[in-house]
Chains A and B, each alone.
Chain A
Amino acid sequence: MLIYIAKRLLIALPTLLIVSMLVFGLQHLLPGDPVLAMAGEERDPETLARIRASLNLDQPIPIQYLRWLGGVVTGDFGTSLRTGEPVSALIAQKLPVTIQLAVMAMIFAALIGIPTGIIAAVNKGSPVDWAANLVALSGLSIPNFWLGIMLILLVSVNLGWLPASGYESPFVDPWRSLQTMIMPAFVLGTGLAATLMRHTRSAMLGVMSADYIRTARAKGLTRREVILKHGFRNALLPVITLTALLFGELLAGAVLTEQIFTIPGFGKLIVDAVFNRDYAVVQGVVLCTAVGFLLMNLIADVLSVLLNPRMRAAL
């Protein structure tokens, strides 16, 4: 198992390298000059050249890339061009916020999507299935920002039950943290829940017509045992893989959701950084996100191997 994980990590390395090049390269294709943005009113060529040199921006791009990469490997993502803060510190500060949002959204998605998927599958063609599909379709079609704004309007403005924005660390004030996070997590989770529900349903439908389900029924097992033990255990495998892929979608959605609820997370960090041409921050954040995505996929693969005796044996 450990060998398998090591192998997978090794395979992830070249992927990361390519991602880092893309991130670095794309950045330089963006219009706008950070030095100009930083220099403000002082636009005399000497000042500009000095700033450029101090930031190594006068060097050829490949050299800049290698310098940056060298830093990254040792945990130094450079400093923000705008505030002068180390990027690693910014990331360390914002990352937990987004992780909390993502995890809570995932929990919402799983709690809603998986059970409805199972129920829809075992009642295929019935009104229950029809209703579940309708809900899923609306979950997919309603944009996050609209749902977010509507919820703020209803729950915060009209009913005054929950705060409309802000953030509190769960380690400081768990209750307050939950209050501020529950709405954004729900908004972010609904779209995922719909996708998850559709996939759980189709995986369950496939599994429920398998021969071993008939065997389980012929043994006289209860419906519950047949569906959850023999059916869902098998349907879970494709669902796990999908969940990992959805994680990317989740991060993309987080950018928007954090804007709406003004949560100081990764999404907000990257949007601000892009507007300010803050290269170092954008690079650091995108790279971190890519690592996160690869890690999620690795975890999903490890889980499916653990749950699938056939793959376990192949290790």
Chain B
Amino acid sequence: MTQPILSLRGLTTAFKTEDGWKEVIRDISFDVQPGETVAIVGESGSGKSVTSLSIMGLLDSRARVSGQVLLDGRDLLALTEAEMRSVRGNDIAMIFQEPMTSLNPVFTVGRQIAELLIRHGKVARDQVRAEVLRLMDRVRIPNAAARMEEYPHQFSGGMRQRVMIAMALAARPRLLIADEPTTALDVTIQGQILDLIKEIQEEQGMAVLFITHDMGVVAEIADRTVVMYRGDRVETGATADLFTDARHPYTRALLAAVPRLGDMTDQDWPLRFPSVDMDSGTITAQAAVSNPINRSATPVLSVKNLVTRFGSGSDLLGRPTGKVHAVENVSFDLWQGETLSLVGESGCGKSTTGRSILRLVQPEAGHVQLDGFDVLTAGARDLRRMRRSGQMIFQDPFSSLNPRMTVGQTVIEPILTHKLAGRAEARDRAAELLRQVGLDGSMMDRYPHEFSGGQRQRIAIARVLGLNPKVIVADESVSALDVSIKAQVCNLLMDLQDRLGLAYLFISHDMAVVERVSHRVAVMYLGEIVEIGPREAIFADPQHPYTRRLIAAVPIPDPARRGLRRGGEIDELKSPVRPLGFQPPQRQWRQVSDRHFVMAG
């Protein structure tokens, strides 16, 4: 066996807290061979990012790192800070999760790449510019010569991540640590970035340590995988073996909780996720949501030709110079007990559609009929009453609950505002609602910060249920949650639908979850629905090229299906900003089968 390029021996990191030193990762040992890709996978709090920062020595003074980090046999933990600085960016490079914030906003991207070349003395001063250009070309940033003078905010997320990669490659490191590099990116962009990393790795013979929570990404790229759970390394093995023959119960549980695109091919109804015990690894299959939907009844939500546009830019007098066509001529119906998923990538208008329907933003035109209310023309009183029928659950469970209100107050507030009960009765109601979402009524007097992300999302659901809504707009409501928690919250939503006949407008970018929970799916692109139909038809027989691309880009958590390479084209989502007075084209629709429509042309 060759000498590993990186070798962790009993790596333990502790943080100083008020109660003394607290170990966040314990006794982590594994090797990375030259040219190999090793994935560290785990949920939030597993210590995977702390592991990477410990290797790089990037933790601050409140952290204590012990054990050994051997790079080519040299212990990095024994180096001085000055010696370590010539390792960082030179021998080991790193890219991060948030391309939007990982670049310094006040310097041009060219300068930020150049800085690293100069720091590590990689090229002569007069060669720096040419080398930056070469690197930007290498990561396929179009028109690199002009773009090197631009600032990070002028780049899209995918392009910024390319800049980060160019920077990481600058010193030709032998190890690249990629900490969730594609998590914040859209799925088609994620595919392009993964391909790019793989390609460069093969070309330069660089080893990659890839940190991720996404089993699909792991299956796609990793030769070997390290599974971490609450600060411990629970299992290490060849990726293929791990997926077929995991030893540790946690690994099995984690894999079982991951939805796989295509799992639902033979299913007629939305299917609950199997319940998994993360400690023992026991998996119990769950029932489908098989309530028939009466489509001959009046839809509980009916959207016709909805248009929402925002002003963009401003001239000398502050008037907008263009318009964002966020939602363009969108129509659909939603029946009681049904889940319609709106899918698409960031900026496609799916969230604005959800907000427009509840008039949280003001649409320009169209009709929305929600439980008998004409939403867009309703006066203040009717609008308030309408809010009982249509409610929303948001993405970020950390910022969507008021930190100064107890959980009880949060759940009671809407009940009191809408005068559905007196104070004492509302309190009983709230306790009951918390029980319904799987929490304990005794938690009422605690504050949001005492709860985990999943619990907070349950609280947000309880708050919404207090009004007995008919339609719930769930805007990326499970996207920020860990795999296992995501499955639980989805199951809760499906339980509630089963019991209460709720209709969901489920807004999501996660195709595998969408496949699991939906009755119907609508695909949005640049503000328009390009395809809508029953879930099984959309996934088995996608018609629109964008739908196909979207589905093809989803990484499948199955190493055996790796190598279904995507096209190498660099594609950015086009912008929905149009000049003033722009007339959107008339669209033709083609019916594929019963209830399955696709935009023609």
Contacts and interface: CB of A to CB of B under 8 A. Distances in A.
B104 interface: yes
Contacts of B104: 212, 215-216, 230, 233-234
Nearest to B105: A310
B88 A220 contact: yes
Contact of A218 (B56, B81, B151): B56
A285 B58 CA distance: 55
Interface string B68-97: 000000000000010001111110011010
A87 to B, nearest CB: 36
Given A215-B104, A310-B105, A220 B119 contact: yes
A3 B105 CA distance: 24
Interface size class of A (residues with CB under 8 A): 20 to 34
Contacts of B103: 212, 215
B164 interface: yes
Interface residues of B, number: 31
B154 interface: yes
B90 A220 contact: yes
B106 interface: yes
Nearest to A221: B119
A307 B154 CA distance: 16
A211 interface: yes
Contact of B89 (A7, A219, A309): A219
A275 to B, nearest CB: 46
A221 B115 contact: yes
Interface in A1-55: 3, 7
A219 B119 contact: yes
Contacts of A220: 85-90, 116, 119-120
A52 to B, nearest CB: 46
B392 to A, nearest CB: 29
Contacts of B85: 220-222
B93 to A, nearest CB: 7
A309 B119 contact: no
Interface string A208-229: 0011101111111111010000
Interface in B389-422: none
A217 B88 contact: yes
A123 to B, nearest CB: 10
Contacts of B98: 211
A33 to B, nearest CB: 47
Given A215-B164, A218-B58, A7 B316 contact: yes
Contact of B106 (A211, A215, A234): A234
A308 interface: yes
A214 B49 CA distance: 13
A313 interface: yes
Contact of B102 (A215, A225, A307, A310): A215
Nearest to B85: A220
Interface string B144-170: 000000010110000000001001000
Contacts of A310: 105, 151, 153
Contacts of B58: 214, 217-218
Contacts of A309: 105-106, 108, 151, 153
Interface string B103-129: 111111000000110011000000000
A212 B98 CA distance: 10
Contacts of B96: 211, 214-215
B101 A210 contact: yes
**Considering the complex of A and B, which 8 residue pairs feature the smallest CB-CB distances, nearest first?**
A220-B89, A220-B88, A219-B89, A309-B151, A211-B101, A212-B104, A218-B94, A211-B102
24 contacts: A3-B316, A212-B102, A212-B104, A214-B102, A215-B102, A215-B103, A216-B104, A219-B115, A219-B119, A219-B167, A220-B90, A221-B85, A221-B89, A221-B115, A223-B81, A225-B119, A230-B104, A233-B107, A234-B104, A308-B105, A309-B105, A309-B108, A310-B153, A313-B153
Interface of A: 3, 7, 210-212, 214-223, 225, 230, 233-234, 307-310, 313
Given A212-B103, A214-B58, A215-B96, 4 more contacts: A216-B104, A220-B90, A309-B105, A309-B108
